[in-house]
Structure 1
Amino acid sequence: MTTSTRVAAGLLTGLFAVSGLTACSGDGGGKGGGDDVASWSDASAEAKKLLDGTSGVELSISTKDDPGGNFLKEATGTIVADPATFEGKVSGSVSGLPVNDVPVISADGTLWINHALLGGWSDKYQPKELCAPDPATLLDPETGVSTVLTSSKDVEAGKAERGGEDNKEIFTTYSGTATGDAIRAILPCAEGDEFDATYRVDDKGYLRSARLTGVFFPDSDAVTYTIDVTKYDVTKDITAPK
């Protein structure tokens, strides 16, 4: 495996697996945290509706853990629904060495990696080569991550709390367990059978963050990732590198 392929496999797999999990939640029933808090069955249905209807999202991903080997440390990016595209930057570790702010684009079913030292956009891959889904398709209402909303189990709602800018927003936290089968529908090489999951939904029904803990990568320890969906209804012109 070449160095550039290790970069792609180590960072892209992590990014696309975890970014896909921002909507990997639900329990088919749900438990409320009080009279003024929606059950998870209602909250997840609304979150799916809003994800399916958005033109695009901006998100960030980070972990404070170090599982060793190849892994994603942090990332930021934009997913656009139509045409299905992705653009962002990833950082992490490849073969024990730090890799920072690597530009990535997904368009037309292909992933491109920008290696500045190797002449720019010098590598491209098919998603299946990296044991990862195509991040550009993660907002597809039929095959994307919103279809996994009913996969988690034993989801319980906490209390509604204020937060955000000037403490003007209201958020509800939901905690449960995502199954390994649901995770592997997005990342086939995930090792864990269960993943602890905590989701944060705002008072308008938007999924705003997810915290997921489990064994995402083969031969590694459990990792906790925090994913923040920082903006919905994004429009951006993303094209394949030339």
Structure 2
Amino acid sequence: MTIGRTRVAAALLTGLFAVTGLAACSGDDPKAGADWSDAGVKAKKFLDETSGIELSISTGDDPGVDYLSAASGTITAEPPAFEGSANGNVSGIPVTGVPVISVGGTMYINHALLGGWSDRFQPEDLCAPDPALLLDPDSGVSSVLTSTEDVSAGKTERGGKDNKETFSTYTGKATGDSIRGILPCAEGDAFDATYRVDDKGYLRSARLTGVFFPDSDEVTYTIDVTKYDVTKDISAPE
């Protein structure tokens, strides 16, 4: 049963926090957004200064290894913490709704194979980041934005509630080094990136494609940041 427990923890944690990006409904507007050298810095600033975010992540791909298929949760910046749930595929078996909490530098996973809540597996044991630190200005998600290279501004798109919001799109190459700052075991040298930023400058959507897991096919993950400036008390499970 030890092998099974390890696979459950590794698959869910490694996949859950491999990437952070977002998606929006689309429309048509030929006007391009602002230059990324300005927009990327502004989007990073909003991520660095927020009290917390709500996000979700999903993929329709199967990389051929244990992987995350969907997840959602809340990340707070101060104190750094995460609370959410994850779905994935472990040894060919679907695993859904697995609760995950990270707070005070310790990760907790709740699964029957682990006997309920357990801190037996930590990020450093599983080649996974601490999800509570994904808003860290120096090594978290925002650093991926400003490290992205060869960025081109695309068309603006309509989306959001009642299709009233405007999103500027950008495409480029997220560096392997910046991704490995979040997921140390990511093997790609570069990841195709598409970012969407709203008219206030907040990162609202990103799509990242590349080799996130050892000995696997490429995967495209889409993550939605559904809310900024979130406050939530997250504590270790009893």
TM-score of the superposed pair, with normalisation by structure 2: 0.91
Code of the residue aligned with 1:5 in structure 2: it is: T
- Higher relative contact order (CA closer than 8 Å, sequence separation 6+): 2
Alpha-carbon contact 1:89-1:101 (below 8 Å) kept: yes
Query: 1:163 — aligned with what?
Result: 159
Report matched runs for 1:166-181 at 5 Å.
166-181=162-177
Residue 79 (structure 1) aligned to one of 40, 53, 75: 75
Structure 2 residues without counterparts, runs of 5 or longer: 23-29
Query: 2:181 — aligned with what?
Result: 185
Alpha-carbon contact 2:144-2:174 (below 8 Å) kept: no
- 1: CA distance, partners of 2:113 / 2:13: 18
TM-score of the superposed pair, with normalisation by structure 1: 0.90
What percent identity do the matched residue pairs reach?
72
Q: Give the drift of 1:46.
A: 0.6
Q: Aligned to 2:17, what secondary structure does the other structure show? A: helix
Report matched runs for 1:6-155 at 5 Å.
6-19=7-20, 22=21, 37-116=33-112, 118-155=114-151
- 1: CA distance, partners of 2:157 / 2:182: 31
Query: 1:209 — aligned with what?
Result: 205
Query: 2:191 — aligned with what?
Result: 195
- 2: CA distance, partners of 1:126 / 1:37: 41
Q: Give the drift of 1:161.
A: 2.3
> Taking structure 1 as reference, are residues 101 and 37 closer, same or farther at Cα in structure 2, changes over 3 Å only?
same
Alpha-carbon contact 1:192-1:216 (below 8 Å) kept: yes
How many pairs align? 230
Alpha-carbon contact 1:105-1:240 (below 8 Å) kept: yes
> Taking structure 1 as reference, are residues 11 and 138 closer, same or farther at Cα in structure 2, changes over 3 Å only?
same
